[in-house]
Chains A and B, each alone.
Chain A
Amino acid sequence: MRITEQQPGANKRFIDPASVSKRMDGRKITNTVFKTLFFMATLVALLVLGILFYRILSQGLGFLSLDFFQNFASRFPEKAGIKAALVGSLWLMAVVAPVSMFLGIGTAIYLEEYAKKNRVNDFIRMNISNLAGVPSVVFGLLGLTIFVRALALGNSILAAGFTMSLLILPVIIVAAQEAIRAVPQHVREASYGMGATKWQTIVRVVLPSAIPGILTGSILALSRAIGETAPLIVIGVPVIIQFLPSGVMDTFTALPMQIYDWAKRPQADFQQVASAGIIVLMAFLLLMNSIAVLIRNKFQKRY
């Protein structure tokens, strides 16, 4: 209103600062308030991580030694080691990685490249997303019924590995689907134009450019499998074990099970041993996540 009242060109002031600041100050304050608020929200997560790191490191570092990796669990906190759990977790990964990646990538290729767009396939897609939200305990019960009891695999590495594979399968499928979808259609069409068949196109054109994305998603999913405790508890994986598995039909224990067992002990020393175990588990996770980041940054092709 006031702007129009002014004579245009009288003092070349088309904008009245007073009026502008009257409207803008409030907006600026709102902006600053929310910016600070959201920054604080970010800080909360960082702070929690910081406290976690500090607590775990200050408690556990004292117990972290070469012996810790070479000893089995013990009733003496200073002699307790993580050997059985660490080797068990590696065995578990050796089953989970190939099984879940083969099934997951296969499903993704089918859904993205072959499946026609119809109600059945939409239904499948929707339910894969639903599966991703199912709590891990439920997968544990599924594994107990199917693998442990019906297929009589017992509480072996294979049974636990299959259960964990099912658990992370939806995550791998979704990640692989996105990676395959990111390959532009015109690249495929160029391939067809050169006379390639569908299979040749998938193997030689689509997968090579989608693999980095698929691997990144798979590794992140695997690092979830390595930290899961609930399905293992339901399957009945033991924690007191003084030998290493020699094959996939042997029973085993895993890092999170061992950590949980130590954390429950009455003696304060055992809680520090648990912290040392957590350091090992976190190092494991950080390593896997950095491999994922590395693959993504180094090999991902952008069109």
Chain B
Amino acid sequence: MKSWKHYLGLTVVSSALLLGACGSDAEEDAATDEATEEQAAESGTASESADQSSEEAVEGQVSGDGSSTVAPVMEALVEEYAASGTDVQVTVGVSGTGGGMEKFIAGETDFSNASREIKDEEKQKLEEAGVDYTEFLLAYDGLTVVVNSENDWATELTVEDLKKIWVEDGTTKKWSDINPEWPEEEIVFYSPGTDSGTYDYFNEVILEEEDMVQDATLSEDDNVLVQGVQGDKNAIGFFGYSYYVANQDTITAVAIDGVEPTNETIESGEYSPLSRPLYTYVSNESLQNDAATYDFFEFALENAGDMAEAVGYVSLPQEVSDEQITKLEEFKN
């Protein structure tokens, strides 16, 4: 019956060790931070041609958060970046565009991914918090409106039709309300959750900030929306292009004003107005003072196109992609 004392002893010792480890760790962190800054300063004075050697010296941590739509591109970039043998450690959360922005405003992250442009109120809050930032485009996504594969009437809609279908006007909507030739059956709505940039973008472009139908099923998990549309003949929903591509055998994409969402129409911007850029907002301070952040974004912007295509998004046109890199190079020191 002495055994419980061992447990207790073990517990005390291990917690003491852990707490001790935490103390020394913080110091080490601070030490490496200083070292990184010194290295950054050194590499800044070193000649530009010595890029390769300065890259090897860079280490540190970069943290980001934000849109779950941007997450697959980010995951691929972080994976490739880690595989390139860097010592920089990148972490990215997926709290949604709005949730990520909150953390960015609080100064907890170096960058924030967004599937819509930054809002005015967010700009204001960032200004109040003293966070300067730069906007970069990573890729294009075609926000895709989908219907059930048995739906053979609403395969082509105009922007006005879409607004009429999705806006809350106090009535229960039937397909026949939009076009008298369509079946007299209630429309079933599936939409991404209100914290997602996809919802915000649709709200702004199609609904023009009017309220969305109240009986829409909202979900932060786009697969729920896919299943909802698959399972109901009268359903309509919208989400990112990659979810349509992964399920194109079982659901139908609606052509908007006669243009179907494809890689070509999204990249060229012909698929309008639902072709949207995916953004990341990076803190200027991190880019300037933290070599790790600069190094990661140098890699990210160069490879964003390939990685975007690999995970089902559309790469930026070459000149737009070059613009992003030029924007970043202003922070080189």
Contacts and interface: CB of A to CB of B under 8 A. Distances in A.
B147 to A, nearest CB: 18
B89 interface: yes
B15 A99 contact: yes
Interface in A90-113: 94-95, 97-99, 101-102
Contacts of B18: 94-95, 98, 248
Interface string B289-326: 00000000000000000010011100000000000000
A261 B25 contact: no
B91 interface: yes
A118 interface: no
A242 B78 contact: yes
B75 A158 contact: no
Contact of B71 (A72, A208, A233, A240): A240
Contacts of A99: 15
A248 B21 contact: yes
A198 interface: no
Interface string B55-87: 000000101110010011011101101100000
Interface in B71-114: 71-72, 74-76, 78-79, 81-82, 89-95, 103, 106, 108
B90 A247 contact: no
Nearest to B92: A240
Interface residues of B, number: 52
Contacts of A155: 63, 93, 108
Contacts of A250: 25
B89 A247 contact: no
Interface in B1-40: 1, 3-4, 7, 11-12, 14-15, 18, 21-22, 25-26, 29
A73 B22 contact: no
A266 B11 contact: no
A33 interface: no
Contacts of B81: 242
B11 A243 contact: no
B79 A261 contact: no
Nearest to B65: A236
B243 A266 contact: yes
B247 interface: yes
B205 interface: no
Contacts of A3: none
B71 to A, nearest CB: 7
A239 B22 contact: no
B97 to A, nearest CB: 14
Nearest to B75: A240
Contacts of A265: 72, 223
Contact of B22 (A98, A101, A247): A247
Contact of A233 (B11, B95, B106): B95
B246 interface: yes
B91 A240 contact: yes
B223 to A, nearest CB: 6
Interface in A267-283: 267-268, 271
Contact of B95 (A148, A236, A249, A268): A236
Contacts of A101: 11
Contacts of A149: 106
A43 to B, nearest CB: 27
Interface string A217-251: 00000000000000001001111111100111111
B222 interface: yes
Interface string B238-250: 0010110111000
B221 interface: yes
A266 B222 contact: yes
A102 B310 contact: no
A23 interface: no
29 contacts: A73-B75, A73-B79, A75-B75, A94-B18, A98-B14, A99-B15, A149-B106, A154-B108, A155-B63, A155-B93, A155-B108, A208-B4, A211-B3, A211-B4, A236-B108, A238-B63, A239-B93, A240-B90, A240-B91, A242-B89, A247-B25, A251-B63, A251-B91, A266-B226, A266-B243, A266-B245, A266-B312, A268-B246, A271-B223
Given A98-B14, A155-B63, 12 more contacts: A72-B79, A75-B72, A94-B14, A98-B12, A102-B15, A207-B4, A237-B93, A247-B21, A247-B25, A249-B22, A263-B221, A266-B242
Interface of B: 1, 3-4, 7, 11-12, 14-15, 18, 21-22, 25-26, 29, 61, 63-65, 68, 71-72, 74-76, 78-79, 81-82, 89-95, 103, 106, 108, 221-223, 226, 240, 242-243, 245-247, 307, 310-312
